[in-house]
């Protein structure tokens, strides 16, 4: 990859880290200003004056920084939550290892978690992932983390949310309307897959775009009186732990591409999702032996492709979230030196596959670290939380 006017990838990373440090200084300045103002206002005698002046703090900050009061309040709330409850994360923000966008995502996760030990565990683990992945990947990782460390509470929230399922229609201008539906994720995934399959099956001669075809198909399905079995049995993969699959523990089923998750009971109950064909993969967290087979020859058989599709979910280039069913299957180490095996086969979207084939793709993570072409969307088992490290970080935060 060529440099432009002497600026290399490493320098761009340095600039990103400098920007993140500047964001941290800016945020700390906002917090110090607010804290000083609150201290001054608390010394005022008249309660009404105290109330009015407290309300004006966000306005003063916003005017100074060209931000709205709402933006100021959200930034201060997120920053204070992370500073007080996740000191390791806050120190990483100060050092420029993560930026404000990642801090906001982590703050939202902290707000969702309800147990102090869960927050400590998040603080222990999140930086290693956040500094080497995109914000979109971090958002998915945080959702999985919450579902794993507080499964019981997450299941309760999911059941409450499912009671709010509904369909709304909003009529707009130019003769158009918006059909909006809030559905359980497994049902929405089945609808999405069926629409994509049917739209593509209409053939290249159809003059409509894929988006137009999907809209017309959905309208046709909803405005006819036909009933019976679904015309398409969608192939949908979800990942379950062995204990959840057997019913020993409650848990979540996660889509192969990480785009959604739902209580496992919603997927395992055939009465809840009847149309698609579900591939219920029992994932061994250590061996991943579903891909332990090797094959002779260059082209991967369908069984291996399907297993890799379900295992990885998305293109394995850093930050790429193209689903695996839209990817090519590439030998990480070129064949015949590299075997046609689960360990050596991975999905790459067409763009990243071409870049890799022309040897111009550098595997540079968002942290700036250049790594060998390895899968970037997998993660190691969580280490136990350390209160000592958490408490030490809290001391460092408040020393400055």
Phi, psi of 311, rounded to the nearest 5 degrees: -70, -45
Least reliable range by pLDDT among 156-165, 184-193, 195-204, 251-260: 251-260
Given a cut of 50, whether residue 371 has pLDDT beyond it is: yes
The pLDDT confidence band at residue 253, using thresholds 50, 70 and 90, is confident
- What are 77-91's pLDDT values in tens digits? 999 999 999 999 999
* Higher pLDDT pick, 219 / 388: 219
Instruction: Determine contact, residues 5/18, Cβ cutoff 8 Å.
Output: no
Q: Percentage of the chain with pLDDT > 90? A: 36
The pLDDT confidence band at residue 363, using thresholds 50, 70 and 90, is low
Given a cut of 50, whether residue 1 has pLDDT beyond it is: no
Cα angle 266, 268, 274 (rounded to 5 degrees) comes to: 80
- Write down the pLDDT at residue 190: 83
Q: Percentage of the chain with pLDDT > 70? A: 78
- What are 90-121's pLDDT values in tens digits? 999 999 999 999 999 999 999 999 999 999 99
- Write down the pLDDT at residue 360: 65
Least reliable range by pLDDT among 203-217, 289-303, 331-345, 353-367: 289-303
The model carries a pTM of 0.71
- Write down the pLDDT at residue 203: 87
The pLDDT confidence band at residue 123, using thresholds 50, 70 and 90, is very high
């Amino acid at each position: 990859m060529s440099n432009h006017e002497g600026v290399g990838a490493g320098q761009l990373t340095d600039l990103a880290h400098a920007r993140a440090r500047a964001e941290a200084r800016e945020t700390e300045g906002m917090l110090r200003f607010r804290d000083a103002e609150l201290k001054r206002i608390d010394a005022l005698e008249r309660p009404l004056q105290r109330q009015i002046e407290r309300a004006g703090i966000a306005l003063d900050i916003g005017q100074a920084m060209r931000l709205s009061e709402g933006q100021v309040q959200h930034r201060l709330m997120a920053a204070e939550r992370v500073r007080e409850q996740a000191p390791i994360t806050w120190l990483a923000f100060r050092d420029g290892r993560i930026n404000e966008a990642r801090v906001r995502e982590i703050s939202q996760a902290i707000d969702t978690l309800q147990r102090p030990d869960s927050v400590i565990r998040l603080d222990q683990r999140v930086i290693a992932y956040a500094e080497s992945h995109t914000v979109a990947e971090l958002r998915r990782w945080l959702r999985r983390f919450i579902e794993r460390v507080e499964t019981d509470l997450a299941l309760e929230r999911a059941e409450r949310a499912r009671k709010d399922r509904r369909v709304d229609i909003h009529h707009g201008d130019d003769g158009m309307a918006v059909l909006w539906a809030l559905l359980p994720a497994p049902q929405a995934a089945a609808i999405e897959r069926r629409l994509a399959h049917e739209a593509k099956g209409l053939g290249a001669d159809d003059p409509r775009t894929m988006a137009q075809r999907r809209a017309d198909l959905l309208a046709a399905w909803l405005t006819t009186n036909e009933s019976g079995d679904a015309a398409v049995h969608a192939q949908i993969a979800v990942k379950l732990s062995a204990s959840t699959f057997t019913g020993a523990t409650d848990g979540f089923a996660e889509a192969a591409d990480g785009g959604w998750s739902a209580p496992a009971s919603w997927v395992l109950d055939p009465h809840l999702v009847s149309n698609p064909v579900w591939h219920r993969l029992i994932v061994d967290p250590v061996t991943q032996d579903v891909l332990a087979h090797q094959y002779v020859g260059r082209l991967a058989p369908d069984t291996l492709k399907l297993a890799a599709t379900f295992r990885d979910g998305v293109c394995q280039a850093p930050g790429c979230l193209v689903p695996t069913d839209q990817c090519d299957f590439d030998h990480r180490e070129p064949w015949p030196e590299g075997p046609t095996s689960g360990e050596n086969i991975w999905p790459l979207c067409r763009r990243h596959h071409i870049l890799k084939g022309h040897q111009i793709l550098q595997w540079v993570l968002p942290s700036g670290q250049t790594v060998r072409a390895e899968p970037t969307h997998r993660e190691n088992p969580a280490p136990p939380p350390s209160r000592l490290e958490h408490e030490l970080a809290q001391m460092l935060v408040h020393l400055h």
